[in-house]
Structure 1
Amino acid sequence: MSHLSPDPVVAVLGANGVGIGQQQWLGSQGFVAERSQAVALALQTLRDLLGEHRCRRNALRVLLSADYCRFCLVPWSDAISSPAELQRYARACFEAHYGQSLEGWRICLSPEASGRARVAAAVPEALLQGLEHLSAESGLRLRAVQPYLMGAYNRFAARLGQGDFLFVLAEPQRSLVLLASQGVWQHVRTQSGNDSDTALQALIARECQLQVGQPLAVFLHAPGRLHDRPQLDGIELCELTPPMEPSQDVLSVMARVVA
């Protein structure tokens, strides 16, 4: 009988650490790095963890915290007629939004119906290539690399519905906001800061004030607040089922979004 599990290994790359799980949480390892060194250090930390737990011959799924990604809204354009043109258009949207070249980044876009804006995420090529190389050398099959924002949205999409809503993802050091109107994306925004009630209340109030005369349903997912639930009026919490064995490790909570 084989002792190999068909369940994929889920790796979470956080701002200050990396964790892995497979059926159950295997563990995490923290690090401290300048932003320019985070990709290299995260890859080395993941290599160490995979070697320590001897994960072999399994699929690997990777979730990326917002610190490794950039996000941008890509408006609909009738002039786009091919995937290559869409990629060039998306890159131009990113460069206009961030005011700098996006050379060395790979862009993926949300699938949307004709006429609708897309949410785009950009991830460093060095990180993606490093994950591909690390998977091969570790005997793993790289199944997917996904921003945590996308995993969280997909997990709670049915609850959000197709109306007007604000979806706030509050990671411990960075928050992201998705605004939709009648099921069409209006904007995506990223903000540095903690996930305290005070900070989140200010963020949500500011976003709602920008939508004058537009009542919004507000949804909040704060993976770092599993044991200290946010206490905010008028906010619907999107929470994951607590693990069988309570953990204080936010990376273990984030891994459960694709469980």
Structure 2
Amino acid sequence: MSLLSPDRYLAVLGPTRVQLARRRGSQLDNLGSAACASRDLGDWAGAVDALEQLLRACPGRRGELAVVLGEHFAHFTLVPWSDAIGTPEELSAYARLRFEEIYGSEAAGWALQLSPEAAGQPRLAVAIAEGLLERLTGLAKTAGLRLVSVQPYLMSAFNRLCRPLVGGDFLFLLAEPERSCLLVAREGRWVAVRSTAGSDSDAALAVLLERESELQELEAQSPLAVYIHAPGRADLAPPPVHGLLPQVLGQPRAAPDEAPDPLWAMAETVS
């Protein structure tokens, strides 16, 4: 390997398991996974401990570390445009207030990031626990790696799979095994983001899509094109929603006798 091409390690953190992979050129190597236990939504300590265990098992580490967070570790909200906001600091304070209205005082210890939208448009905001970011930074340093990114899978997957949709009207459903998140856009503007716990079965996803479609109809909106990404669901076959058949994005391939692994599918999608 050239010294100009360091290894890139990729960790995917889920609520019950962590996956570690390494990118060398065009090859993505599976470095294993480790079980963890998250007691509550946002409980990240067990997942970081599992990642530390996996990194210790990799001798001769060098290069970069990118971390992808499952929906269990990230919180989302929509921040509407306000003419009263004139600086980035005011925008950040406004976004934090939105999170505190939803999650209470717990949101005071979260790091925020907002999507870069044009003036006059709502922004998507994501919040991640400051303690999680600090622990990952220290873990990477101890492992001899440079932490280059920590990003929710929702954003990573959208950037990889949905770029052609930007500017149109659509509903994008990310269905991880234990949580799902809906993004709705119209005329190039974000209009809704909703997260919920639940199964990623066809029946459960159909209920989510029908419910969101009904909400859009109550607001006198026209039907939306529907897109679904369910990492690890090679057999995904969602029924039509209000007469429109959802399009499955990034569906994993698996041998007939082998069930796809959701965390590995997530690693392949973003690597």
TM-score range, shorter chain: over 0.9
Deviates more, 1:232-241 or 1:185-194: 232-241
CA contact 1:160–1:219 (8 Å) conserved in 2: no
Give the letter for the 1:235 counterpart.
P
Distance of aligned partners of 1:105 and 1:161 in 2 relative to their CA distance in 1, 3 Å threshold: closer
Matched, 1:56 2:56: no
- Mark the runs of 5 or more structure 1 residues left unpaired by the alignment: none
Distance of aligned partners of 1:159 and 1:243 in 2 relative to their CA distance in 1, 3 Å threshold: farther
How far apart, CA to CA, are the structure 2 residues paired with 1:148 and 1:199?
20
CA contact 2:42–2:73 (8 Å) conserved in 1: no
Matched, 1:117 2:128: no
* Counterpart position of 1:236: 247
Cα distance, 1:242 vs structure 2: 3.9
Cα distance, 1:33 vs structure 2: 3.3
* Counterpart position of 1:76: 81
Matched, 1:133 2:141: no
- Of residues 88, 93, 99, the one that matches 2:98 is 93
Aligned length: 257
- Of residues 231, 238, 245, the one that matches 1:223 is 231
CA contact 1:55–1:140 (8 Å) conserved in 2: no
Give the letter for the 2:77 counterpart.
C
Cα distance, 1:53 vs structure 2: 1.8
* Counterpart position of 2:8: 8
Q: Cα deviation per residue 1:25-60 (whole Å; 9 max; x = unaligned)?
A: 211111233127831111110000011123622110
Q: Structure with the greater relative contact order (CA < 8 A, sep ≥ 6): 1 or 2?
A: 1
User: Superposition pairs for residues 181-220 of structure 1, below 5 Å?
Assistant: 181-212=186-217, 213-220=221-228
Report the secondary structure of 2:108's partner residue. Answer: coil
- Mark the runs of 5 or more structure 2 residues left unpaired by the alignment: 23-27
Identity of aligned residues (%): 45
How far apart, CA to CA, are the structure 2 residues paired with 1:105 and 1:197?
33
CA contact 2:96–2:112 (8 Å) conserved in 1: yes
Alpha carbon RMSD of aligned pairs, Å? 2.1
Cα distance, 1:241 vs structure 2: 5.8
TM-score, normalised with respect to structure 2: 0.88
Give the letter for the 2:226 counterpart.
V
Cα distance, 1:240 vs structure 2: 5.0
How far apart, CA to CA, are the structure 2 residues paired with 1:61 and 1:241?
21
User: Superposition pairs for residues 239-258 of structure 1, below 5 Å?
Assistant: 239=250, 242=253, 248-258=260-270
